[in-house]
A and B are shown apart, each in its own frame.
Chain A
Amino acid sequence: MAEQLYWEDVKEGGEVTTLTKIGTTQMLVRWAGASGDFNPQHYDAKFGEAAGTGGIIIHGALKRQWLIHLMTDWIGGEGTLKKFSCSYRGMDYPRYMKTMTEDLGGDTWLCKGTVTKRYVEDGDHCVDCEIWVENGQGQKTTPGSATVILPSKG
C-alpha cells in the first residue's frame, strides 16, 4: 500500500495516481459471478454479435468498480469515498485468453483523475475529482466524478 495521502498533499489541478487495468474474458466471468450480473452480453461472443455490439463487451458496472478502486487506492485507509458517479459512454472489448493465465493481448485501460476542487465543509477536508476510464485509443469510455474526505495534518 502507498503512503497515506493527506489533504495538504493535494493541489487543485493535480493528478489522481493512475491505476492500470487489463480486462480479460476471464475477469468478466469472475465479475459476472461476483456481482450476479449474468447477461450473456458479457461472456458469449455469439450473443454479442447478434445483439449488435460486435462481441463480448465489458460490464459498465465493472468499469465503475475499477474507478472506485482508483479512488480507494489513492485516498488510502484513512480517506473516505463520499460520493461517486460515472457514465457508461462507450463499449470496451476485453482481451481473450491464450492460456489459463495469459491473454492474447489487446487493450490496456487506464483509470485516471484530476483534482477539481479542494475545500473544507462541515469540518471535513474534502476533495472533488474528475475521473475516467481511458481505453488503448485514449478514448474516455467511462467519465465520472468523485468526492472524498482526506485526513488533515491539522
Chain B
Amino acid sequence: MVTEDMKKLIGLSSEPSVSEVEKGAIQRFAIAVDDPNPLWTDEEYAKKSRYGGIIAPPGFFGWPAKAQWTFGMGGPMADVLAEFTKAGFPIVLDGGMAYEFFIPVRPGDTLVSTAKVTDIYERAGRAGTSLFGTIETTYVNQNGDIVAKGQATLIGRPLG
C-alpha cells in the first residue's frame, strides 16, 4: 500500500514558519486547559521560580500552532494527505504526538518551526490495514537553540 510516490515524500521539509510567543496567548492556552499553574501566568510568582519569569506550558509554541497537522495544512502534510487519499485511504486521523523538550518557551520568544516527513509505513490491525505517516516539527528560538521537537502521527484509513 505504501506507494513509490509516498516514499518520495520521506525527508521532505516544509517552509519554515515563524510565530511570536505572546504572554496573552500563553494565558489563553492555560485557561483553555484549566491549568491554573502560576508559572504560566503570574509574573511575580514566576520571578521567584528557577526560571526567573513566566514560561509557557510544555506543548505551547506560539499562536497559531501552524505545525499542527489540523491547521494550515500546507507543504509536506498536504502532500501526505493527498497521497493517502490517492491510494484509497482518505480518512485521515490524528494518531498522536511525541515531544522532546530542551529549553522552556518564554513570552517574547520568536520560534521558527520546520516540519519534515520522517516516515510512511503500513500496519495491519483489527480494522484492516492502515497507513501511517510521521511528521517531525523542530522549533528553534531567536538564539538559534532548538527548544523542542514534536513528532505527529497521521493515520490513513479506507472508507467504510
Task: Show the binding face of A for B, using Cβ within 8 Å.
Answer: 1, 21-22, 27, 30-31, 33-39, 60-62, 64-66, 68-69, 72-73, 77-78, 80-88, 144
Contacts and interface: CB of A to CB of B under 8 A. Distances in A.
Interface string B19-34: 0000001001101111
A102 to B, nearest CB: 15
Given A65-B33, A72-B57, A85-B97, 6 more contacts: A33-B28, A34-B33, A61-B68, A65-B35, A69-B57, A83-B100
Interface string B94-133: 1111111100000000000000000000000000000000
B34 A82 contact: no
Nearest to B37: A72
22 contacts: A33-B28, A34-B31, A34-B33, A34-B63, A35-B64, A36-B63, A36-B68, A36-B71, A37-B71, A60-B96, A64-B96, A65-B35, A69-B37, A69-B57, A77-B39, A83-B99, A84-B97, A84-B98, A85-B97, A86-B97, A86-B98, A144-B96
Contact of A35 (B29, B58, B93, B101): B29
